[in-house]
Structure 1
Amino acid sequence: MADVNTIRARAGTRAAAIDEGLRAHMNKVYGTMSVGMLITFAAAWAISGLSVTSDPSAAAAQISENKYLTDIGYALYASPLKWVVMFAPLAFVFGFSAMINKMSAATAQVVFYAFAAVMGISISSIFLVFTGYSIAQVFLITAIAFAGLSLWGYTTKKDISGWGSFLIMGVIGLIVASIVNIFLASSALMFAISALGVLIFAGLTAYDTQNIKNTYLAHAQSGDSEWLGKAAIMGALNLYLDFINMFMMLLQLFGNRE
């Protein structure tokens, strides 16, 4: 007959190994997401710097007093290319999600960082529209809110998996409404989209964090390090999108415009 203390010790050792693996998994998720955020804002800042000039002789178009678009800025923000820039991240996400199972974990990580750079180009206009102080302030608010929501999603004993379908429906509704508002240019509709968007992506932050944790625990004993590596990257992508979208919605609500 097996010794009870031996059984408990083995169970405790296995649980400790799973907990340690979970911590390492979550650290990789947050680390990958953080590098992606750094790439995004570095790309956005760099592109915005190349897009604006105060020299009229080097300008392609004027956007305000003593501020002009360069040829790069005109191509990105005023020419038909702006539609490609606007929707490129969305196409990238769908393509990445569909192809990740055929990639190695290392390739998936490189593709994620490439996506982060594309997202930076797509949102680079915020540095033309909003003050730098306002962007930094909203970023800090978003970071604090994201950390609190993600921590709650990780630690709560409540099963919030049922939120998923409603939140995804909300995201689809936001995408449709945002596309419609490109043509309507309604400030009231934009306010409603931004307010609802903050709530939806706040919910998704908690939901995605719990889902990442539960996914790891469900597969922790498989020993498939390649699969777990790709799961960490997909988790980082989901949390990255939650953060970026919540930041953009809050910036629309509270950002101070140039």
Structure 2
Amino acid sequence: MAQYQSINSVGAGTRTAQIDAGLRAHMNKVYGLMSVGMLLTGAAAWAISGLATTTDPTMAVAEMRNGTMLTGLGQTLYLSPLKWVVMFAPLVMVFAFSAMINRLSVASAQLFFYIYAAAMGISISSIFLVYTGTSITQTFLITAIAFAGLSLYGYTTKKDLSGMGTFLMMGLIGLIVAMVVNIFLASSALAFAISTIGVLIFAGLTAYDTQSIKNEYIAHAQQADSDWLGKSAIMGALRLYLDFINMFMFLLSFLGNRE
């Protein structure tokens, strides 16, 4: 009997070690995919902003209120009605991705994520026209430090953060509604409130999503479903990517120095 218990204990320890090793590999993949997505977003935003502006008056077809001269591409992206399509395209793509994920292969889902990241870069490219490059860099570094700390907390804490999920999602829905309303109201006071609440919501979501990704892996670890694991890593990367991007954008409204 003692021998059986000893063998069973060793077997359980081996399974636990395998799950821990698999979890580390899974989280590394999540953060790796997220990092590639961030690089694509930054590269797309920087490239598009460069193509959309010019310092040559003979090449300019329009001018923004801050004096930035725009090329034809810039006029189309930032001044024409197409700007609404550019603005809301990433939101539509997120909902489409969530609806299609079960029908996509792992490779297709990963490609869609990368395309989405590039589309997000085009959508936020105007930050290079509004804020100084130094303030964008500083805000990005602050966001990266905050994100790393919050994600580490979500991964290591023994506290169950699942109760935060409903509260945070309700706050997120309210935040989106307020942002849409403020497009038409253009209220600086409401914009400040939106930015403050937005930072708090996505800070909470960073910790919550990290713990959720970890727990989902542990719950499915013994099933050895490689297709699920691949898609789960992509969806996890998307969740954390959105937390980072949104926290960065809301912080930029506080910390960014305008051109």
TM over 0.5: yes
Q: Shift of residue 138 of structure 1?
A: 0.2
Letter in 2 for 1:165: T
Distance, in Å, in 2 between the alignment partners of 1:229 and 1:61 is 46
Distance, in Å, in 2 between the alignment partners of 1:125 and 1:32 is 25
| Contact 1:54 1:66 survives alignment (8 Å) | no
Aligned to 2:73: 72
Distance, in Å, in 2 between the alignment partners of 1:184 and 1:56 is 33
Q: Shift of residue 254 of structure 1?
A: 1.2
| Contact 2:23 2:214 survives alignment (8 Å) | yes
Alignment of 1:1-258 (within 5 A): 1=1, 2-63=3-64, 67-258=68-259
Gaps of 5+ in 1: none
* Alignment deviations for residues 162-202 of structure 1 (CA, whole Å, 9 cap, x no partner): 11111011111111100111111111111000000000000
Q: Shift of residue 65 of structure 1?
A: 7.2
Distance, in Å, in 1 between the alignment partners of 2:170 and 2:151 is 21
Letter in 1 for 2:13: G
Q: Shift of residue 7 of structure 1?
A: 1.4
Q: Shift of residue 8 of structure 1?
A: 1.4
Q: Shift of residue 4 of structure 1?
A: 2.4
| Contact 2:68 2:129 survives alignment (8 Å) | no
Aligned partner of residue 157 in structure 1, secondary structure:
coil
Gaps of 5+ in 2: none
Letter in 1 for 2:230: G
Structure 1 vs Structure 2: percent identity of aligned residues?
72
Distance, in Å, in 1 between the alignment partners of 2:174 and 2:246 is 14
* Alignment deviations for residues 108-145 of structure 1 (CA, whole Å, 9 cap, x no partner): 00000000000000000000000000000000000000
Distance, in Å, in 2 between the alignment partners of 1:66 and 1:191 is 25
| Contact 1:212 1:235 survives alignment (8 Å) | yes
Pick which of 57-66 and 69-78 moved more. Answer: 57-66
Aligned partner of residue 69 in structure 2, secondary structure:
strand
Aligned partner of residue 64 in structure 2, secondary structure:
strand
Q: TM-score, normalised by structure 2?
A: 0.98
Q: Shift of residue 6 of structure 1?
A: 1.4
What is the RMSD computed on CA atoms of the aligned residues? 1.0
Q: TM-score, normalised by structure 1?
A: 0.98
Q: Shift of residue 3 of structure 1?
A: 2.6
